[in-house]
Amino acid sequence: MEKKPNPIALLPIGVFLVLYLGAGIYFEYINHEEGQMGFYVMSVVVAFSIALIVAFLQNRALSFDEKIHACAQGIGDDNITIMLFIFLMAGMFSGIASAAGGASSTANLFLSILPARLAVPGLFVIACLISMSMGTSVGTISVLVPIAAAAAQNAGLHLPLCIGTVVGGAMFGDNLSFISDTTIAATKTQGVEMRDKFRVNFIIAFPAALLTLVILLVRSVLSKAPEMQTYSYSILQALPYFIVLGGSLAGINVFIVLGVGILLSLICGLITGSLTFASAFSAMGAGTSGMFETMVVTILVASIGALVKEFGGFAAILEMIKSRFNGKKGGMFGIVVLTSLMDIATANNTVAIVMAAPIAKNISEEFGIDPKKTASLLDTVSCVWQGIIPYGAQLLIAAGLSGMASTEIIPNLYYPLLLMVAVIVSIVMEKD
């Protein structure tokens, strides 16, 4: 039965935004302490928990048991369940592959074979490939920024450009990787296959990446050639990342790809001596632990979303977008605006996708938008903003590791800015 539009049902989302964004602004800009990331003082889990309580206090026409049932239906959705399992396996792979030395070996391998003149463009390509293999922009930034900073210092490269290049490449892979939590969230919430979303997404992302590479090549050619160091690496340690990347691109089932990646990381780690059975299990445990917050947030957002939908909140948003946007293109721009606001407010692209996804699905059904396009817009737009906002984890970590302010990096973020242009162009060129 179609729900009657009810703007008041959106109150829990408003409460979350006020709590999370308000606390972030306060601790980052008003009462900031040295070394503190203000937008991460207020736990996203706590903010969503309070929002869920607010949702339960609404609509007295439904009993507590009926509200619990609505939450259970939201959490028990097939796509939510699959998404939770993939998060677990992706965490295991990320943990054991990093502990085995795969991430650093992959980065060092590429840096060692690059011509000095192509150091900065090479950093972009390396970041793209590693983030596609790892499925995490934060992990890629953590691995590559120290190397990029060292290369900048030793070879006389422009440090903000090197760091901005790494961040841009990391967001490219985060957007396209088959094991990225953003890809998983975007595809599963829209009920589409990862490979189908990849094809749509690639048409948008690749031109932006290619133009970024051209800009970096031009800057490199016009600047003084640097002197690069040599870096140690193990091809065997890097092998699991290449296997996962190849399997993902080939469209093999993500569970099989991740399972093979975990097993290969264990074998290669044992052979090279970088892992023992004990450290391997500890690394997998640490990797899954790193996914727990994302999983809890997914459960909380699914519950809040179910109640907001039940109370008519999604119908209110849909009605608002229909009154301001017309046709398929208008619906797509509505999804862009919705996702942008969610990411700017939460400073977390996965959370933004999970929050925006149910509403975006309603919009796509209302305006006849291909679900593959909707999934692509959710993932791409959230990654654009996550790679630009100075209070997001990506720029904060990059700034911390390189010893500069996050705002210094922003002018060198060519890829995220070009990606947003590519998104707008793709919508304008879409047939109504």
Domain coordinates in residue numbering, the chain: 7-428
User: Residue 321 above 80 pLDDT?
Assistant: no
Phi, psi dihedral angles at 415 (to 5 degrees): -65, -50
- How big is the CA angle at 254 (ends 253 and 258), to the nearest 5 degrees? 125
Poorest-pLDDT segment among 120-124, 153-157, 382-386: 153-157
- How big is the CA angle at 281 (ends 275 and 283), to the nearest 5 degrees? 70
Confidence of residue 1 (pLDDT cuts 50, 70, 90): low
Q: Classify 59 in phi/psi space as left (phi over 0), alpha (psi -120 to 50) or beta.
A: left
User: Residue 7 above 80 pLDDT?
Assistant: yes
- In this prediction, residues 41-49 reach a mean pLDDT of 84
Q: pLDDT at position 418, please?
A: 95
Q: What is the pLDDT of residues 212-242, one digit of tens each?
A: 999 999 988 877 666 656 667 788 888 887 7
Cα-Cα-Cα-Cα dihedral of 139, 141, 143, 147, to 10°?
180
Q: How far is CA 313 from the centre of its chain?
A: 26
Residue 376 near residue 204 (C-beta atoms within 8 A): yes
Q: What is the pLDDT of residues 138-184, one digit of tens each?
A: 777 777 776 777 667 766 677 888 899 999 998 998 888 877 778 88
- In this prediction, residues 234-254 reach a mean pLDDT of 75
Q: pLDDT at position 233, please?
A: 78
Confidence of residue 39 (pLDDT cuts 50, 70, 90): low
Contacts of 311 (CB under 8 A, 6+ apart): 3, 6, 8, 9, 55, 58, 59
Residue 254 near residue 86 (C-beta atoms within 8 A): yes
User: Residue 185 above 80 pLDDT?
Assistant: yes
Residue 260 near residue 247 (C-beta atoms within 8 A): yes
Residue 414's identity, in one-letter code, is Y
Q: Which of 6-10, 93-97, 143-147 has the highest mean pLDDT?
A: 6-10
Residue 25 near residue 38 (C-beta atoms within 8 A): yes
Handedness of CA 146, 269, 125, 221 (dihedral sign): positive
d(CA 169, CA 137): 8
pLDDT > 70: percent of the chain: 90
d(CA 221, CA 246): 32
